[in-house]
Structure 1
Amino acid sequence: MAGKRKSRRNFGRIRKLPSGRFQVRYLGPDGVLRPADRTFPTTTDADRWLNRKRIEIEEGRWIDPAEGRTTVRDWSARWLAAVSPQLKHKTRATYRSLINSLIVPALGDRELSSLRPITVAEWVGGMRTRGLSASRIRQAYRVLSQIMRSAVDNDMIPQTPCRGVKLPRMPQTEPHILTPSEASRLVQSAAKPHDLLIALLAYAGLRVGEAFALRRSDINVSAGIVLVDENLAEANGALVFDTPKTHQKRFLRVGPSLGERLGRHLTTLPDSDDALLFTTPGGKPLRYNQWRKAYFDPAVAAAGLSDVTPHDLRASHGTWVADRYGVMTAAHRLGHSNASVTTRHYARPVVGRDDQVAEAADHWLDGHDGHTPAPGARSGHDDDDDGSSGALVPV
């Protein structure tokens, strides 16, 4: 018993206050004597707390209380500065916007250690009450979760308060999958050269930003190859050229007809490898909203279609390819990051399959809906090695 008292005396102190309660001070691993975060009604309670703190320090679980007193505002700024070099321009701008508009105004003055799951739940509830979209709320929550997880990883707080919080559900929306002939009609209804841009979305599966960023040097007409290595996006109103969404460039085969159209279009461009394929009448890079309103939506109406977005063309391309050549080939065409992990570790695209896709896409471009697979192509309903049913999911 005397040994226990000696151990406690070396590690901490318990003294009775004028109020009758007991105060605890303990020696941290840095040699600093610190008070407990509360007082205790009995010496037994105080001694029990002191023993738990000693075990916490011995097991390496101790966190300096001063770290937890850092405010959410200060830690958010430090976290964003640390991760920014690894982020794409648009992602960095989005994170900064969410922090400045939604996280800091509501939680910025709070200390990290003061946040609890109920605090975060109330914050989420407040955003819902103000009518923010489910998407915006979920984005803000994900950023706060990353900030708090980083605080845990850096021994600022013992655990994240972003746990067990119910988030609003995203509305379920399905892409409008066009038939090849509908997409061909849309291409034919568009003004030049935007008919070619729309054709690249539908028959090469490009993202809109990838099509906007195409340059003369990205097109190899003789080989029928399009290099996708840039993406044009808007970040806080500014246009930014960056890597594609998955940070990976890809080469796409296009059929002879689409290749010929690209070749003819190249003759109209300035004689520079960096010349953009598609620009405004004044030669400036395209902005999505302006381009859609001026060129895409009128083409949709002229084609007798409705409720079609540029992204629907990419989803349609993925569906056509998956139906005829398998989901893995479609994911390869679309440059999906998840599929790239799958192909890198478990599977490989079948040799020559991209050539078959390019040939078939040429027929689709002419408005043919034929469903006869190319020689050796999968129908999408064959038995798969993994036992899947072969059902298609729009990509």
Structure 2
Amino acid sequence: MAQKRRHFGRVRKLPSGRYQARYLGPDGQLRPAPETFRTKRDADDWLADKQTELRRGDWHDPDAGKVPFGEYAAAWIKERELTTTTRQLYGSLLRHHLEPAFGGVNVAEISPPLVRRWRADKLAFGTGPTTVAKAYALLRAIMGTAVADQMIRRNPCTIKGASTVHTPERPTATVQEVYDLAEAMQPRYRALVLMAGFLGLRWGELIGLHRRDIDLDHGAVRVRRAVAELFNGQREIKAPKSAAGKRTVAIPAAIIPDILDHLERYAEPGADGRVFIGAKGATPRRNHFNRLWRKASADAGIKNLHFHDLRHTGNTLAASTGASTRELMSRMGHSTARAALIYQHASAERDRLIADALSALVDKGRKTKRKQDPERKGHARDTAD
């Protein structure tokens, strides 16, 4: 019986007795299988799978991923449109956490087991969970681009939830605590504390305000820029993180007199004058302000509250008014509903506690009434009969 002629690929028997499979790729190059086979049937099956890939248009150049990860990752960061702070963060994560493990490894050789082992070692040797999550997220994004570039077939970062940063629930201040902190602060920063606590603005947004951004006649603040402090100590004036970050936030009437007093006493003159400046006329630095914040917190008897928690406070208060998700997104400067829903959930939980307390009062009132009128239940039964 004549042997069936092969139409795709070639199989040859090696001196070792094993079989080698080869095929002509779409690029015109003769491509050998990455391994030899024990039987001719195994080699034929491999070629059949490769032919199916070609017919589906799912073929990948096996040499495309033979690029060192460190080289590819550095180019990945360079090619992205990133803010200076994000670029510095990615560079730091790459140098300190990804390159030591993957820098010299070819992109195609980074496998799910290798990624899992790297992550487990990082956590076991004391790297903070937040840092590990951020490094993993960066690795996943880079490898995702490698998939799109057809360097690899699948992303090796497959650990569910590994890129999620789990942060503990931040505390919120009461209205009175916000005022206590404002009173304990240096007078020139009193309005800054009140605006953080009741408008929910970020530190960089507050420091970036100019006089023209505050419209007291209409009770509103226009957020158009933010001041970012870089890792090297330099500062950068930039646009908000997203288009939603450019927004107008209404000012509670209760703090307008405080803002007016601040503008008259401490802000720079002119429409372009900075609203918040230090005693020597410089834009405040976060590390210096944090020292003042810690002292004010101690003087006010408030523990474990960071300045950024005032934004959390302002957003929680806004949610407690019954604001819709879209309204909260607009006020907070978020382009997605995720954060707004968190605050609404917190507000709903508080409302549930209030309802439970009311229920207890209702039950207590009914029991008291029943004790005062023990014949009511029997009378009702007689009437029904």
The answer to whether the superposition gives a TM-score over 0.5 is yes
For 2:370, the equivalent position in structure 1 comes to none
Alpha-carbon distance in 2 for matches of 1:213, 1:166: 35
For 1:90, the equivalent position in structure 2 comes to 85
Structure 2 residue corresponding to 1:235, chosen from 212, 218, 230: 230
For 2:98, the equivalent position in structure 1 comes to 103
Alpha-carbon distance in 2 for matches of 1:340, 1:38: 48
Question: How many Å apart are 1:100 and its aligned residue?
Answer: 1.7
For 1:63, the equivalent position in structure 2 comes to 60
For 1:13, the equivalent position in structure 2 comes to 10
Which one has more relative contact order, counting CA pairs under 8 Å at least 6 apart?
Answer: 1
For 1:292, the equivalent position in structure 2 comes to 290
Does 2:185 align with 1:190? yes
Alpha-carbon distance in 2 for matches of 1:296, 1:151: 45
- Say which SS state the counterpart of residue 251 (structure 1) adopts: strand
Does 2:205 align with 1:205? no
For 1:251, the equivalent position in structure 2 comes to 248
Q: Please give the residue correspondences for 1:158-177 in structure 2 after superposition, counting only pairs within 5 Å.
A: 158-164=153-159, 167=162, 173-177=168-172
Q: Please give the residue correspondences for 1:343-354 in structure 2 after superposition, counting only pairs within 5 Å.
A: none
For 1:135, the equivalent position in structure 2 comes to 130
- Say which SS state the counterpart of residue 337 (structure 2) adopts: helix
Structure number with larger C-alpha Rg: 2
The residue type paired with residue 156 of structure 1 is M
For 2:47, the equivalent position in structure 1 comes to 50
- Say which SS state the counterpart of residue 193 (structure 1) adopts: helix
Q: Deviations over 1:37-85 (max 9, x none)?
A: 11112211111111111111111111101111111112112221222x1
Q: Deviations over 1:227-255 (max 9, x none)?
A: 11222222323322222233431111213
Q: Deviations over 1:5-47 (max 9, x none)?
A: 2413xxx222222211112221001111111111112211111
**Native 8 Å contact 1:221 1:260 kept in 2:** no
Alpha-carbon distance in 2 for matches of 1:200, 1:164: 41
For 1:354, the equivalent position in structure 2 comes to none
Question: How many Å apart are 1:337 and its aligned residue?
Answer: 2.7
Measured on the aligned residues, the alpha-carbon RMSD in Å equals 2.7
TM-score by length of 2: 0.81
Give ranges in structure 2 of 5+ residues lacking alignment.
342-346, 354-385
Aligned length: 344
Structure 2 residue corresponding to 1:147, chosen from 142, 145, 153: 142
**Native 8 Å contact 2:205 2:226 kept in 1:** yes
Alpha-carbon distance in 2 for matches of 1:341, 1:142: 19
